[in-house]
């Protein structure tokens, strides 16, 4: 039985991916900050789901990850789904620093722990949910777009490191567009906003086929292709 560890499974994309993998017969280890939500998800299949309360901004998170892996009986797939994002046009320092602490420091803490585990256990599949926001610097969410770019580059570097060390580790960088989750707070309806269940379906397909980088969905893949072509001097004068 294949075994997946999902960090950030209490809600949104992480939860929907967990349910989809469960339908496909995976054994799951789920983690997040909210015990109530983890217990509720475990009830879907108590014999197939283990959980551990875990906060990626805390130094004990890697140890808790190892404990969850042991409860699950091993780890074939690691999915880093947890993260935060806020619009911050007023550039409130607390928002920027909290985003960096979670999406930068916390992200690094978890993916390096997963990398070390796979290195020591003969390989595996390391996947992360980043965002198309990493493609360009967004004035409405500076720290969010910057940390997503960091995640893209960090996974690229780990993939190269695995090759240098001849490790059998596969990497998948999942870059969704706007998804109807808690990150998109407020009443505003974003263009081409997607349902988490549909996004999870695309993600699981990408994971099953070991895709290296996947933009979800095709509409956003086209969008990203064209906005990459926008010269910096023009981009910096656009209202995004």
What's the pLDDT tens digit per position in 195-215? 888 999 999 999 999 999 999
Average pLDDT over residues 9-28: 95
- 3-235: what fold? Rossmann fold (3.40.50)
Evaluate whether 176 touches 81 at the Cβ level (below 8 Å).
Answer: no
157/141 Cα distance (integer angstroms): 25
Average pLDDT over residues 111-117: 98
* Residue of 117, 144, 154, 220 with catalytic role: 144
- Select the more confidently predicted residue: 190 or 7: 7
Evaluate whether 23 touches 76 at the Cβ level (below 8 Å).
Answer: no
Could you tell me the maximum CA-CA distance found in the chain, to the nearest angstrom?
56
Q: Is 154 a catalytic residue?
A: no
Evaluate whether 11 touches 197 at the Cβ level (below 8 Å).
Answer: no
Give the tens place of pLDDT for each residue, 151-191. Answer: 999 999 999 999 999 999 999 999 998 876 555 554 455 56
E-strand stretches of the chain = 3-7, 27-32, 49-53, 77-80, 124-129, 169-176, 213-216
Per-range mean pLDDT, top range of 59-68, 185-194, 226-235: 59-68
Average pLDDT over residues 4-25: 95
156/213 Cα distance (integer angstroms): 10
């Amino acid at each position: 039985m294949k075994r997946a560890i999902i960090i950030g499974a209490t809600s949104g994309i992480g939860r929907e991916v967990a349910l989809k993998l469960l339908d496909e017969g995976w054994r799951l280890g789920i983690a997040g900050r909210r015990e109530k939500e983890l217990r509720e998800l475990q009830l879907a299949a108590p014999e197939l789901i283990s959980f551990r309360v875990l906060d990626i901004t805390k130094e004990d998170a890697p140890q808790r990850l190892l404990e969850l892996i042991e409860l699950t009986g091993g780890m074939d797939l690691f999915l880093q789904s947890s993260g935060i994002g806020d619009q911050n046009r007023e550039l409130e320092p607390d928002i920027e620093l909290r985003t960096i602490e979670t999406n930068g420091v916390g992200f690094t803490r978890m993916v390096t722990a997963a990398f070390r585990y796979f290195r020591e256990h003969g390989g595996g599949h390391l996947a992360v949910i980043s965002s198309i926001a990493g493609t360009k610097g967004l004035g409405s969410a500076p720290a969010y777009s910057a940390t997503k770019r960091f995640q893209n580059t960090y996974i690229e570097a780990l993939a190269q490191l695995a090759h240098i060390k001849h490790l059998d580790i596969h990497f998948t960088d999942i870059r969704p567009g706007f998804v109807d989750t808690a990150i998109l707070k407020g009443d505003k309806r974003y263009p081409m906003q997607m349902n988490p269940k549909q996004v999870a379906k695309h993600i699981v397909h990408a994971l099953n086929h070991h895709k290296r980088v996947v933009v979800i969905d095709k509409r956003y893949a086209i969008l990203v292709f064209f906005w990459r072509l926008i010269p910096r001097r023009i981009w910096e004068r656009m209202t995004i």
